[in-house]
């Protein structure tokens, strides 16, 4: 079975984003970029399924600028077999990404499509669900545990207040949550090998997808600075202060 894994190049999760002075977006100049953490989990899960003999080939896919090749090389160094970059400098919205992934899936015919549940830059949490809808495939979102059983995949998914287990007929779409696994570090030999693994470059037009934005960002601003706390002498003073603030 072939697995298709979607990865995205985002601002490194250790970096505090800065808003542009004109409020038109986030400043990406000279900012460290890396693979979206949830997508790292997706790559790791595909590799583990391959190590179990369930998956035979892993294809990593990314939609973004030429520099997204670095992100795909990371996926290849972790253990993916080949990669496809759909290159565009546009800020591609989730629906356009989903349509591109559908086009790739139509060509590659993967038994399993694995994506991170969301990207940490736009937090949309939409691509996996949209891909499943466009392909007409069952979906298991927010996966906490994944197990392939014959022609089905059992997904234990995180829901409010607990876990829900669903059984999906393959081919299917799975989106990964934080507690599914801990991604491995790519070893130096694998990083060197990744340089020679095939990486194809495509364009959105190759899949008949128009990446023109449907949404317009009006303004981007940083969250308000949190006000300082107030110390009180005792419980009576605390109650009086809460009443003064209209909380109690």
What would the pLDDT profile of 17-57 be if each residue is shown by its tens digit? 888 888 888 888 888 999 999 999 999 999 999 999 999 99
What are 132-165's pLDDT values in tens digits? 999 999 999 999 999 999 999 999 999 998 999 9
User: Which has the closest alpha carbon to 144: 113, 120, 176?
Assistant: 176
Q: How far apart are the first and last CA of the chain?
A: 60
Q: Which domain holds residue 7?
A: 2-245
The 3 state secondary structure assigned to 191-242 is: HHHHCCCCEEEECHHHHCCCCCCCCCCCCCCCCCCCCCCCCCCCHHHHHHHH
Total domains, the chain:
1
Q: For residues 44 and 53, give the distance between their C-alpha atoms in angstroms, rounded to a whole number.
A: 14
Q: Which two tokens stand for residue 144?
A: 């906490």
- CATH number for the domain spanning 40: value is 3.40.50.620
pTM of the model: 0.87
């Amino acid at each position: 079975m072939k697995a298709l894994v979607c990865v995205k190049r985002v601002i490194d999760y250790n970096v505090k984003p800065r808003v542009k002075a004109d409020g038109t977006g986030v400043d990406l100049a000279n900012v460290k970029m890396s693979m979206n953490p949830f997508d790292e989990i997706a790559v790791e899960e595909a590799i583990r399924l391959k190590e179990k003999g369930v998956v035979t080939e892993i294809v990593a896919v990314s939609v973004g600028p030429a520099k997204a090749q670095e992100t795909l090389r990371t996926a290849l160094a972790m253990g993916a077999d080949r990669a496809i970059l759909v290159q565009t400098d546009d800020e591609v919205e989730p629906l356009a990404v989903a349509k591109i992934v559908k086009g790739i899936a139509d060509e590659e015919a993967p038994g399993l499509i694995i994506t991170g549940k969301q990207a940490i830059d736009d937090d949309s949490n939409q691509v996996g669900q949209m891909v499943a809808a466009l392909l007409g495939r069952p979906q298991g979102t927010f996966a906490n545990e994944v197990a392939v059983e014959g022609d089905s995949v059992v997904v234990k998914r995180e829901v409010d207040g607990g876990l829900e287990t669903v059984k999906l007929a393959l081919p299917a779409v799975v989106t990964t949550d934080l507690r599914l696994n801990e991604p491995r570090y790519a070893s130096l030999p694998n990083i060197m090998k990744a340089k020679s693994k095939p990486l194809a470059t495509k364009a959105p037009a190759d899949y008949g997808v128009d990446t023109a934005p449907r949404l317009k960002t009006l303004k981007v601003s940083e969250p308000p600075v949190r006000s300082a706390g107030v110390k009180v002498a005792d419980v009576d003073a605390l109650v009086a202060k809460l009443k003064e603030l209209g909380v109690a």
